[in-house]
Amino acid sequence: MAKKRLHIKTYGCQMNVYDSARMADILAPLGYETTEAPDDADLVILNTCHIREKAAEKVYSEVGRLRLLKEEKARSGGRMLVAVGGCVAQAQGEEMMRRAPSIDLVFGPQTYHDLPDLLGRATRDLMMTGRSRVVSVDLSTDIKFDKLPEEAAPQGVSAFLTIQEGCDKFCSFCVVPYTRGAEYSRPMADVLAEAARMVRLGTVDITLLGQNVNAYHGDNGHGGTAGLGELMRRLADIDGLERIRYTTSHPRDVDDDLIAAHRDVPQIMPFLHLPVQSGSDRILTAMNRRHTAARYRDIVARLRDARPDLALSSDFIVGYPGETDADFQATMDLVRDVRYSMAYSFKYSPRPGTPAADLDDQVPESVKSERLAILQAELLRQQEEFNAACVGRILPVLLERDGRHPGQLVGRSPYMQAVSVDAGSAQGDLRGTIHNVEIGAVLSNSLRGRLIGPATLVAAQ
């Protein structure tokens, strides 16, 4: 079979990273080999994300650049197919074809398992009419994972594994329910089998993914369902799987069993991303979050009782329609009460098709910018304080890749901090292993430490 070149550009979340890897697996039997640049590709896929502001415009800008490459390849007698997948494709569908005729195929995040058939249809249309208008944006999730092949290549020492997709929460600012569909959880046996394959291929650190990952309720094979806590206990039995993480969680779905799993399963890393969005009950109600600030504080307290070394990150939106100074102050109070090792914060921006986009009481841009600056200054202060408190501690670090300097390795602490060490002549032997590192310094975006020796699987000190 003649080899063809595939370039995938991935935007946005970790789930898109996982999806892009699976697209490559699906297309490998058709002779496609991945390439880092689109210039000589036979097929370019843009795997898009709709969360950030002006996401669609960035995609159209990239399609414009690809159109020039496509025309250049056609002049030399070749052919480049341009496909747009992911959440922007799901949201815009036929509109993308109308606005950018150089696109040959549009497919949503729940239909990429049909890529071989979709590409066949696009190729036939091009050969017969010189134009392809293939659009596939079905939101059914339950058959996609059944059609995905086993991983074709190692994913690395750290890898993502999707266990849940879609969202039933309908937060008023969010497009995910409209682009990813209803919540769906993969059967536990399927997740365990995929994780075991990853470990056999060299993965030791797996991050479980889902739009609402802790809403996981997969078939347990015995006529019932398993929650995320039970799933992680089963994953911990896989020999060679040293680290388990999960993202992104919703406070409403943190249950007793999940909290107990943080206490009982040493493979679960003591770092949790738990978005709160606002500290104001009035704004949380307007956002349709269906939890209160007090409920969030209680969940955090219970998690820290179960795992005292737990570090938290979160998401915040400032300037949601109708947010007052008092609402913003409630957010600042929550931030100071909870204390985060890191966090993501954004100014509210309307997403077409979401309820909040049509509200009249939009906050002036200048006010949003001022509030965001205040919030980010406090979050940065807390992050710097957390990193500084790590100096002198011994942390188990998964050494993942070579650093910028000879003999240097860079890895991740249990808290997702980048840590660099001098491995010297042992660099090649230590790559992909977990070693204890004494943290000696905080750098601008990372920590630096000294190798102590191989780590044992216990809670971080």
253 and 333 assigned to the same domain: yes
CATH number at residue 373: 3.80.30.20
CATH number at residue 27: 3.40.50.12160
289 and 405 assigned to the same domain: no
Following CA atoms 33, 34, 37, 40 in sequence, which dihedral angle do they give, to the nearest 10 degrees?
Answer: 20
Q: What is the pTM of this model?
A: 0.88
Residue 438: enclosing H or E segment and its boundaries? Answer: strand 434-442
User: Is 179 domain-assigned?
Assistant: yes
Residue ranges of the chain with per-residue pLDDT less than 50: 458-461
User: Is 349 domain-assigned?
Assistant: yes
What tokens were used for 412? 């991740």
Residue 10: enclosing H or E segment and its boundaries? Answer: strand 4-10
CATH number at residue 435: 2.40.50.140
At residue 180, what is the residue type? R
Q: What is the count of structural domains for the chain?
A: 3
At residue 108, what is the residue type? G
294 and 168 assigned to the same domain: yes
182 and 206 assigned to the same domain: yes
Cβ proximity of 315 and 344 under 8 Å:
yes
80 and 151 assigned to the same domain: no
355 and 289 assigned to the same domain: yes
Given 72, 106, 136, which residue is the final one in a domain? 136
410 and 381 assigned to the same domain: no
125 and 254 assigned to the same domain: no
90 and 180 assigned to the same domain: no
281 and 297 assigned to the same domain: yes
**Which pLDDT belongs to residue 149?**
82
Nearest to 328 by CA among 341, 337, 319: 319
351 and 379 assigned to the same domain: yes
88 and 152 assigned to the same domain: no
User: Is 261 domain-assigned?
Assistant: yes
Cβ proximity of 164 and 210 under 8 Å:
yes
User: Is 459 domain-assigned?
Assistant: no
**Structural domain containing residue 81:** 4-136
**Which pLDDT belongs to residue 3?**
86
User: Is 331 domain-assigned?
Assistant: yes
- E-assigned strand segments in 292-425: 311-313, 315-318, 344-347, 394-402, 408-412, 418-422
Rg of the chain over Cα atoms, rounded to whole angstroms, equals: 23
User: Is 410 domain-assigned?
Assistant: yes
**Which pLDDT belongs to residue 201?**
93
User: Is 461 domain-assigned?
Assistant: no
Given 360, 389, 418, which residue is the final one in a domain? 389
Give the Å distances, CA to CA, from 338 to 112, 188, 313, 345, 388: 40, 33, 10, 15, 18
Given 136, 153, 185, which residue is the final one in a domain? 136
